[in-house]
Structure 1
């Protein structure tokens, strides 16, 4: 696992053992190609951050700041280590469950990433649908911002009356969804 491009490009990063499926280099490259200049000077929120790969990539490519949120102690420690090793500025790591963080946070973000555990079977929590249907995600997104989620390519794109699915792209077993809030 590595940061692909920018100031810390090609730097190897650690992945906590608690992360079963980190976003691959190929998928991260695709996400940032889709985003283009939207990442420049962006305020970024990385939910279910895991290794911090998405937020680190954003900072490396010119984002102004990134808040990394994960509820697992090991993930928080690894993200902190990866931030220190990369020498990227503007990162802050928070140990919290995603919905609880969104509920108490007052900031707005230009880009919000979510790469939760995949919803695979009946009974699994569908984190992306829960985020889209909560009252807490949309107020955190700045006007003109994007919510980018990764789900299994076998899963249908979650829908919500408050969000428009702008783009869906599939890369092997992953699908990248880009949403915008409906004003």
Structure 2
């Protein structure tokens, strides 16, 4: 069961698409938001949740005070679930789904974002993640934060110039990287 951990939507259960996503576990999400909370105030932030899956990361951010979240999901079945989860949280005024590829979304006018979650499926190559990080730079606010979740067995990502890694933590089969602009 995936649920919102804290904030306005605390306890709301989120639907998970069958066989199309790997949602970030509640334990990892709790650790992620603890890591973020030690470094920044979520109030009023503009968030992008790339490879949204269930939308849990973006919705958790809105629940904790972010002003808005754009949830990008290319899989149509997963995008429908994200829409349902936005409705479950009654976050329609602050969260929206963009059903396009991350690359297409970032190639169009997007941002500026203060906080970006990048949680691609584990089978997305590190080279592809590196390319998305490079595309992301123009969409970032001057003091933005980027959080990337990858499988523990994947190659290390390469941060583009302009993003500096500040923390890396391993949680079971997941590794979370946090960078600041």
TM-score computed with the length of structure 1 as normaliser: 0.90
Moved more, 19-28 or 63-72: 19-28
Tell me the number of residue pairs that the alignment of Structure 1 and Structure 2 aligns.
175
State the match for 1:59 in structure 2: 62
Match of 2:110 among 78, 88, 106: 106
Gaps of 5+ in 1: none
State the match for 1:170 in structure 2: 170
State the match for 2:97 in structure 1: 93
| Residue 38 (1) aligns with residue 37 (2) | no
Q: After the TM superposition, which segments of 4 or more aligned residues of structure 1 sit over 3 Å from their partners? A: none
State the match for 2:122 in structure 1: 118
Gaps of 5+ in 2: none
| Residue 25 (1) aligns with residue 26 (2) | yes
* Alpha-carbon distance in 1 for matches of 2:53, 2:20: 6
CA drift of 1:115 comes to 0.6
CA drift of 1:153 comes to 1.6
TM-score computed with the length of structure 2 as normaliser: 0.91
Residue 169 and residue 91 in structure 1: after superposition, are their counterparts in 2 closer, same or farther (change >3 A)? same
Is the CA contact (8 Å cut-off) linking 2:5 and 2:26 kept in structure 1?
A: yes
State the match for 1:79 in structure 2: 82
Q: CA RMSD in A?
A: 1.4
Residue 53 and residue 161 in structure 1: after superposition, are their counterparts in 2 closer, same or farther (change >3 A)? closer
CA drift of 1:13 comes to 0.5
